[in-house]
Chain A
Amino acid sequence: MLKVEHLTKIYEGGTLALDDVSFEVPDGQFLAVIGLSGSGKSTLLRCINRLIEPTDGRITWNGVDVTKASQEEMRRIRRRIGMVFQHFNLVHRSKVLTNVLQGSLGYVNPALSLINRFPKEEVSKAYRQLARVGLQEKAAQRADELSGGQQQRVGVARALMQDPEMILADEPVASLDPVLAHSIMQYLETINREDDVTVLCSLHFLDLVHRYADRAIALNEGKLVFQGPPSEIDDDKFKEIYGQEAERVG
């Protein structure tokens, strides 16, 4: 269970990115986070694993106060939270396998990992994760030799490598075409259904939200303006979330 209470983030320049946001996510839920660009979706996801330090508020996950955790405790929390990014964030010059193995860095012996040595079990696990996203034959290639959709699948495999209990997906399909978008969303759906992993996924397209999410929350200028099942987003709600001039496209 993830519990976000009164979460507020003010950036150094004074920008109010999140304004008193509170919501709860039960274990195993697929939660969509929607809103315009700049509405605070990325900031919200990054506050949950504290890649961005929240200014105020409290985040508790499985009873642990994430906002109060020390660096060492934070590492132990982060290794249970996989993350998938809009721009994939792979290390281009490294091999695909190395990129996937990065997911195990929070678990392995730090000293040995510095000279690129991973335990055999971790390596075979990395191959299994690659097989799961259908890329086992690409393991030895450099990451930048892959297409965009393949790179995002490597990103998913990297998150899976962490044995996550939760996955934070920050617009995972925004840089992909619609067909690839569905394929990536299906991977996330499978992980959510089969492995019982909680998924928090920020999305642009409402049809994706209707198709994949159990529940949705919506942000507008840092404020939580909606939470509930996607089916409840009717035209009025839509205008509230996206502004009066917006028109539905999908």
Chain B
Amino acid sequence: MADGNNTSQQSPLDAMPLKPKRGFKRTIFFILAMVFGVIVYAYGFAVTDVNLDEIRSETRQTQLVRVLRALARPDLLSYERVETPTDTAFAMPCPAGGFNADGVDENARHITVEPACVEPGGKITVRGANFSANARGTLVQIPPSGDLELRLAEFQVDGNGDFELVVNTRERESDQPQTIRAITRENIGTIFKPVQVEVTSDAGVVSTVRSPRISKSTTDTWDRIIETVFLAFLATTLGTVIAVPLSFMAARNLMRDISVPMTKLALQLLAMPVGVGLGILAAGWARTISEQLTDSVFLVILGLVVIPFLMVLAFRWALPPVEEEPPTPMERSGRAVVILIASVGGIVVLFLLASLMVTVGDWLAPRLSTFDFLGSFVASLGDILNAIITLLTALATAGVLMNLAGKLGMWMRGHLPAGFIKVFRIPLAAAAGAVLAVLIGMGIGWLYQITDPMKIYWVPAAVGAAIGLALAIRAYQKEQVAIGLSIYYIARTIFNAIRSIEPLVMVIVFVVWVGIGPFAGSLALALHTVAALAKLYSEQVESIQSGPIEAVKASGATRIQTIVYAVIPQIVPPYISFTLYRWDINVRMSTIIGFAGGGGIGFLLQQNIRLLNYSAASVNMLAIAIVVASMDYLSSRIRERIV
């Protein structure tokens, strides 16, 4: 090793020859690439129907101008209008000796027709002067009978109060002089100087209104935009609450190290369906017990006070705050029984609470007038609680039972001979595989309406057992199963699948389930939010410092304690930031989710566009722009503050 430093005498710079100029081959390649690029682009043009003739056509252009002008005049205010007629006489056909209209006062508002007489249907030029600047109006022809207005054209007065128009007259021959009338319509009042006007409705009722006043489009838009903002709010909060725990399952650095022995995993898988069944049973009992009490509000309240008190006492006794020594088996079983009874008490309390909330909500709603929604909210919460108690109980029981099965597995590994475990876990794994496969088979059977027991029970059971066997034999040496990584991959796959479906598509399914309206929209947005946020969150979890996790683990903390103390403090700022960002996206999404039946302002916008009511559509778009822009501003401000 002593002569190691004089082996290389060459300086690294000598070895580097000058690079030759771009070679011929490279040039050819470059030209080919260019040609290929042009071909790709040309094909793109053909496929996307790029059509310049359409753009140039005059009808298209006038339509576009009409729409743009309507959009530029959002229908925010509605005005009362006055109509002012201005008449002049003309003849059709020309009488012998010609025809002369009466003289006009050049200083007053007037119109003139040239020529003063035409053959039936001939062209005339109409000129007006001294009109209100920029007023709009209609030009009509009135035959001598006087009861008919024949519409000739619309006109627009210029800034000087003049207009000139060439129109075709209608063929109404008469020896009497006819009338050409210019009717101008003008708005009464301005934003700065509104006036009160008396109007007569079609039914003959006279009333006083303000002009201008907030238009119907504006009030409708206001209602819908509020709906939109809250739709986005509900979707974001609901989605966040669900996404936070799920995101830990999709974080590789947390899941990587989780592996369980085969025996334990198999026992846990077997315990899961049993736990779900027991949970449903327990929830059933609790429901029966609570139904004895729900007839009387007094009993419900009494139950709500007494049972939690007893529960707190029970848990205080069963879960001492500091444990120096592991409890004896006697203590353990005593505690387990107490916790079990207290848990059933807890379910009863939940049922009572749900029933109380429904009662209170229904009682409050009619008594709160404007705030009746608070009453309905409480009642709905009670209803939701009532609906999910059974589910929660089933999940909790399954969790507890799986935990116990895991402990049993660990006990077996510690106390039974290793050879016995090695043999014993093979049938156990097969059984677990079979149970899991039958559960999946039942799901598939339900979806495809298969009733053949062969297909939904026996075949899956056999396949599952075979997979379990194979795994158990393969894991003969190592024993450990990397369950964490499996969960990680499953969670990732599900999130990616859900995330790839736009909420606009999801809402179609939700509309079938809960009907057209904002509820369907918020559910669709919430589901998409869960998938998108869980992915973003999990990537944040993956990028945290591992040091604190190591430190907390080293102090003897459980896995959940490690997450609470070492992971969560590190991810709070990015989580808040991503949640705000998602809220921003959801507000934008909720403005169009109405297009697919999801409620909110999109519903109104789509309707107005379909009805060609562009001035009203313009109000909707204005509202969307204001809400999105202010949301953006607000969220960036909050992010600055917190993060």
Residues of A within 8 A of B (CB): 49, 51, 70-72, 75-83, 85, 87-94, 98, 102-114, 116, 119, 121-122, 155, 158, 161-162, 168, 244
B146 interface residue per 8 A CB criterion: no
Q: Are A103 and B555 within 8 A (Cβ)?
A: yes
5 smallest beta-carbon distances between A and B, as pairs: A106-B556, A79-B556, A89-B547, A89-B551, A105-B557
**18 A-B contacts (beta carbon < 8 Å):** A70-B410, A78-B553, A83-B551, A85-B547, A91-B565, A91-B566, A91-B570, A92-B570, A94-B565, A94-B569, A102-B557, A105-B561, A108-B322, A109-B320, A109-B323, A110-B561, A113-B561, A113-B564
CB nearest neighbor in A for B480: A53
With both beta carbons as reference points, the residue of chain B lying nearest to A98 in the complex is identified as: B565
Of all chain B residues, the one with the shortest Cβ separation from A49 is B554
A72–B550 CA distance with the chains assembled, in angstroms: 17
- Nearest CB in chain A to that of B257: its residue: A53
Q: A120: nearest residue on chain B (CB-CB)?
A: B321
B interface majority secondary structure: helix
Q: Are B566 and A51 in contact, CB atoms less than 8 angstroms apart?
A: no
Residues of A with C-beta under 8 A to B564: 113-114, 116
- A102 partner, pick from B555, B558, B570, beta carbons under 8 A: B555
Residues in chain B near residue A168, CB distance under 8 A: 554
Q: Which residues of A contact B322 (CB under 8 A)?
A: 107-109, 119, 121-122
Interchain CA distance A119-B322 in the complex, whole Å: 8
| Contact indicator per residue, chain B 394-423, by CB within 8 Å of chain A (1) or not (0) | 000000000000000010011000000000
- Please tell me if the beta carbons of B551 and A107 are within 8 angstroms of each other in the complex: no
Across the interface, which residues of A come within 8 angstroms of B1, CB to CB?
244
In the bound complex, CA of A102 to CA of B565 (Å): 7
With contacts A91-B570, A93-B570, A102-B551 taken as known, whether A112 is within 8 angstroms of B321 at the C-beta atoms is yes
Q: Could you say which residues of chain B place their CB within 8 Å of the CB of A90?
A: 548, 551
In the complex, the answer to whether A119 meets B321 with C-beta atoms within 8 Å is yes
- Give, as a whole number of angstroms, the nearest-CB distance from B248 to chain A: 14
- Tell me how many residues of B have a C-beta within 8 Å of chain A: 32
Cross-chain contact A105 with B565 (CB below 8 angstroms) = yes
Please give, as numbers and ranges, the residues of chain A lying within 8 Å of B561 by CB-CB distance. Answer: 105, 110, 113-114
Give 1 or 0 for each of B309-324: 1 = CB within 8 Å of chain A CB.
0000000000111111
Complex: A70 Cα to B553 Cα, angstroms: 15
Is the CB of B304 closer than 8 A to any CB of chain A?
Answer: no
Contact status B556-A105, CB under 8 Å: yes
The reply on B572 being an interface residue by CB < 8 A is: yes
Identify the closest chain B residue to A80 (Cβ): B556
Nearest chain A residue, comparing its CB with the CB of B551: A89
Which residues from A are CB-within-8-Å of B570?
Answer: 91-93
Most chain A CB within a 10 A radius of its CB, from B319, B320, B410, B555: B555
Q: B459-485: contact bitstring with A at CB < 8 Å (1 yes, 0 no)?
A: 000000000000000000000000000
Chain B residues within an 8 Å CB radius of A244: 1
Q: Are A93 and B569 in contact (CB under 8 A)?
A: yes
Asked if B560 is at the interface (CB within 8 A of a chain A CB), the reply is yes
In the complex, the chain A residue whose C-beta lies closest to that of B564 is: A114
What distance in Å separates the Cβ of B339 from its nearest Cβ neighbour in chain A? 11
Q: Which residues of A contact B20 (CB under 8 A)?
A: none
From B320, B326, B410, B557, residue with most partner A Cβ within 10 Å: B557
CB distance from B480 to the nearest CB of A (A): 10
Distance in angstroms between the alpha carbons of A78 and B562 in the assembled complex: 14
Supply 5 further A-B pairs (C-beta < 8 A) apart from A77-B556, A105-B561: A76-B556, A78-B555, A89-B548, A90-B548, A110-B560
Q: Is the CB of B554 within 8 A of A51?
A: yes
**CB-defined contacts of A109 to chain B, threshold 8 Å:** 319-323
Contact across chains for B558 and A75 when beta carbons are under 8 A apart? yes
- Alpha-carbon distance A221/B564, docked complex (angstroms): 37
Say whether B550 contacts A93, CB under 8 Å: no
B551 / chain A contacts, CB cutoff of 8 Å: 83, 85, 89-90, 102, 155, 158
B293: Cβ under 8 A from any A Cβ = no
B550 partner, pick from A51, A70, A113, A114, beta carbons under 8 A: A51
Chain B residues contacting A105 (CB-CB under 8 Å) are 552, 555-558, 561, 565
Contact in complex: A106, B555 (CB < 8 Å):
yes
CB-CB nearest in chain A for B565:
A102
Question: Shortest beta-carbon distance, B402 to chain A, in Å?
Answer: 15
Bound form: Cα–Cα A178–B380 in Å: 65
